[in-house]
Structure 1
Amino acid sequence: MKIGIIARGRHGPLTARMMSEYFEVSVFELPEELPVLIEDIELPENILNSDIIISYAAHPDVNIRVVEGAKARLVILTGKSGKTGSRAQLKAIAEERGVRLLMVDICCVASEIEGFEEFFNRFGKPEFEVKIRNGVLEDVKVTRCAFCGATCFVAERLKGAIIEDAPRLAGYYTQIYPCLASRGIKGGIHLAAEMHKIAMERAIKAAKDIKDK
């Protein structure tokens, strides 16, 4: 599977590094500072021809060009809707061109889409699998990782944690990772932390349920 990533500044390189372990990845880097209006932009054919395109452009003009030119079966646009572009317009263009479109504020909430199991079995909403011994996480495995790699970072640091503390720590470690989510009181980083906290709670419950049988 070929993944095309449109990176901008620090947004994109971590994703490319993580996904290149499993897929063929191409990266097109945009300048971190972009003008408010971009009249024309040429995107490389190797990006447009990917099976999946992930855009971190956070710019309406760039994202419209991505959807208009994509030969990919799926386009994923990340970032808040105000920066991503008009959702109604982007959806209309995608539908007209027969392209599947997924728009998410942060990658931790990327839900699985039918037909793309090969990708979403590895990346999207975080999932863990844990082994518990004497109330401690003896082992923590990542069964699905956030695009940016935060889930793997969290898993490495939770081995040996007391299970009562593990969900809280999962959220904490997410926030100290160079996560791509926005910071601040209303930043997406808090949702990213919550997604990892919930994922750890589920993993602990599943491990206990198996042990109790």
Structure 2
Amino acid sequence: MKLYIISSGKYGSRIVNSLAEMGLASSMVGLEEIPEDLPEFIDDFAQYVPKSIPTADLILAVGLYGDINMIVPIIARKSGAKSVIIPIHDPTQVPPGLQREIEESAPEVKIVFPKPFCSLEPVGDTFIDKFAREFGKPKMEIDADGLIKKVKVLRTAPCGSTHYIAQHIEGIPIEEAELEAGNKLHNYPCNASMTTDQVVGDTILHLAGYQTKEAVKRALGFATRSAVVDHETCEADECQHECIKHCPQVQIGLDTVTLNENEQAVIDPASCGCCEICIQECPYGSIEMEERKFTLE
């Protein structure tokens, strides 16, 4: 796979360096550094398009803010790439309107906007999926006997945090692993924004933490904390599923809250971030946070 990267700022540099260190250096056919101090609104993109663009299969644009992202589909077209990843780590980076504009400018190109980058999963595109099988939503195997004995990283967050977390949760009690994984993500540190994203109702840093915790929970086969819906009091047909509308995980494409045969909400303990937003939004008070062992399917 031929990977061409467009990078800007500290976030972009960190992702580029991490991917190179984790084995993608030989796949990188080009790297274009974009200045950080560009205006938010740009009339003429041509001046920022590289004069020489190699043939590529996948374009990765990391750390770009505002209108400069419009050069990405131009570069994709010039390189022959039909696959583009534009990860979002800050709410102001690529707003929904700009995302639509980017997509409409290159309808022949598959463009994804994972928010955060570590939520990326295969989407049915050859080159995005090839990348996402190794880098994206964390996935682990855990060997444990009451304590975490060994952690194998099957898929790492693109920033490399999953390997760091795997090393630092070995030796701790399995009941503490979920919480400790989130703590270690902060220690790494995660560079995602702590500003609330109005589209999802939570911070992108928190979303990154939810992906990490989910990886640990699924590897262990259980969760220790989750929001739970009381189906005796749930009036889903009356409230129009407010829990689904406001769940940050649902907003980034996950099936954290689904409906049962009675159209009542069911919350997945594995991907529940325990943000408690659904509890606040439920008009019938039908959702509570429970701390117990939830066995995962």
- Name the residue aligned to 2:184: 173
- Taking structure 1 as reference, are residues 17 and 83 closer, same or farther at Cα in structure 2, changes over 3 Å only? closer
- Taking structure 1 as reference, are residues 72 and 178 closer, same or farther at Cα in structure 2, changes over 3 Å only? farther
- Name the residue aligned to 1:103: 113
- Taking structure 1 as reference, are residues 108 and 174 closer, same or farther at Cα in structure 2, changes over 3 Å only? same
- Name the residue aligned to 1:211: none
- Name the residue aligned to 1:192: 208
- Name the residue aligned to 1:2: 2
Q: Is the 8 A contact 2:7 2:64 kept in 1?
A: no
Distance in 2, matches of 1:110 and 1:45, equals: 29
Higher mean alpha-carbon deviation, 11-20 vs 152-161, is at: 11-20
Distance in 1, matches of 2:72 and 2:52, equals: 11
Cα distance, 1:184 vs structure 2: 4.5
Q: What per-residue deviation string (whole Å, max 9, x for no partner) do you get for residues 84-103 of structure 1? A: 252221121221xx111001
Q: Is the 8 A contact 2:9 2:63 kept in 1?
A: no
Q: What per-residue deviation string (whole Å, max 9, x for no partner) do you get for residues 105-141 of structure 1? A: 21011121222343211011111111113x0111011
Distance in 1, matches of 2:17 and 2:93, equals: 25
- Taking structure 1 as reference, are residues 154 and 190 closer, same or farther at Cα in structure 2, changes over 3 Å only? same
Distance in 2, matches of 1:120 and 1:30, equals: 24
Q: Is the 8 A contact 1:4 1:54 kept in 2?
A: yes
Cα distance, 1:44 vs structure 2: 5.6
- Name the residue aligned to 2:133: 121
Distance in 1, matches of 2:113 and 2:141, equals: 27
- Taking structure 1 as reference, are residues 34 and 92 closer, same or farther at Cα in structure 2, changes over 3 Å only? same
Q: Is the 8 A contact 2:40 2:66 kept in 1?
A: no
* Matched residue type, 2:4: G
- Name the residue aligned to 2:237: none
- Name the residue aligned to 1:91: 103
- Name the residue aligned to 1:34: 38
- Taking structure 1 as reference, are residues 105 and 152 closer, same or farther at Cα in structure 2, changes over 3 Å only? same
Which of 218, 238, 244 aligns to 1:202? It is: 218
* Matched residue type, 2:110: R
Cα distance, 1:149 vs structure 2: 0.9
Tell me, which stretches of 5 or more residues in structure 1 are unaligned? Answer: 207-213
Structure with larger Rg? 2
* Matched residue type, 2:210: E
Q: When the two structures are aligned, how many residues end up with a matched partner?
A: 202
- Name the residue aligned to 2:69: 63
Distance in 1, matches of 2:56 and 2:91, equals: 24
Q: Is the 8 A contact 1:81 1:105 kept in 2?
A: no
Q: TM-score, normalised by structure 1?
A: 0.85
Percentage identity across paired residues of the two chains: 29
Distance in 2, matches of 1:174 and 1:44, equals: 39
Which of 24, 27, 35 aligns to 2:27? It is: 24
Q: Structure 1 stretches (4+) deviating beyond 6 angstroms?
A: none
* Matched residue type, 2:121: S
Q: Is the 8 A contact 2:53 2:75 kept in 1?
A: no
